[in-house]
Structure 1
Amino acid sequence: MAIFKVDAEVREDVGKGASRRLRHAGLVPVVLYGGGRDPRNLTLNHNKVLRLIEDEAFFSSIIEFSADGGKKQKVVLKDVQRHPAKPVIMHMDFMRVDDKHEIVMNVPLHFEGGEDSPAGKSSRVMIDYQMNEVEITCFPKDLPEFISVDVSAFTAGDNLHLSDLKLPEGVTLVAFTHGENETHDAVVVSTSAIGQAETEETAESEAATEEDSKESED
């Protein structure tokens, strides 16, 4: 697992006006919360933040965090607010974690073998990746950077559901924390024959047109 170290500075002024001034000064307003302690208002260097978030693992790793050179603590990134049109980070939230309490995180899915699979090699089959991340719960020591999904054997008609994922030890899908339920067992990856899909769409369209025509005659 990659190790990320973040050094923040304490900020005294808060509010929208203060946040705008900080951003103009090349700083990102940050809130650190959780762990049974009061929230703290902090700032991070914007350029350093941009470099950190280039690494996908930063979003699903335990981060070594310190403020004004103080005691290091373990945190996870919980939220990033971005400017809608510019490459600017507007705000970030970090949450303190400890080894004795489970955390809930979104972790990315890494699909492997799709291009080399029978489905991937066929021009008549479409692989539909319906999820790119899943919500999990685990202790901090068990937090994975990502979850691998092997689709190298996929052929037309194959599907993979949440319950089919091979999870690392100590990791549980939040969707099943209240018991394994079919309504929660969403499709992660599916395949379909392109010609078949087009035929079904055409049939549905023709059926709808015929029904409209009958209604008009009536």
Structure 2
Amino acid sequence: MWVAPRHLAGDDDTLADLVGAALTGAGWRMWPTARQTLLYVSPDELCGAEWVRASYPFALGGLPVAWQITARSHPAGTMREWNAYFTGGTPPEAITDFLTALDARPEPHAPFGGPETVLDALTGQGWYRDIDRPHSAASDPGFTASVSLEAVPEHVFDADPRPDLPGWQAWAEPVPGTPLWCATFSSSTPHDLVAAFAASLASPIPVRRKLLPEGTDGHLTLLPPI
């Protein structure tokens, strides 16, 4: 079936397979690790994407992190410039579009654009800026999902050591107090990459699903086959 909106469509329990297929299709190499995770590395060896759900590194909104995406400034470097984390339930289309934008960048660590880049990507597709934080937060028309620039959880790593630096956070919560999915980007994650995720998240184009997530009754629209 085809459903909308995308941000409430869930991951169809195929988040590992769909994102992994997109990465291997783009030429990323993959191997299993000793921690029972799957590690993908970009052809230029600057970016990594790891399916970490089995190792349960930490939780966001009470949900285990499923994908961790990182970038370095040099192939031989060990320092990760920034990290992005996605829990299960995150629409795979949004993660894939984030990775496509990352893969197209010659310097994945370099800053580009500002917070308005992310907010414009959302409001351009019908989301609303937060009335109290118009320059740092936006919500979907049904107020079931938000993207905001604010303090990140303590386990989120970034190369910039300064304390209390804000990073982008996104989540969907069709049932108050019960997140469907969460995503967090450390403070040095380039705004244009977050904007690619946000634009995909807010896209009005329906997505195909076999399974509908719990708690979305009355929020999802089922559409005829395209």
Please confirm whether the aligned pair reaches a TM-score higher than 0.5, indicating the same fold.
no
Higher strand share: 1
> Normalising by structure 1, what TM-score?
0.23
> Between Structure 1 and Structure 2, which shows a larger proportion of helix residues?
1
Higher relative contact order, structure no. (Cα contacts within 8 Å, ≥ 6 residues apart): 2
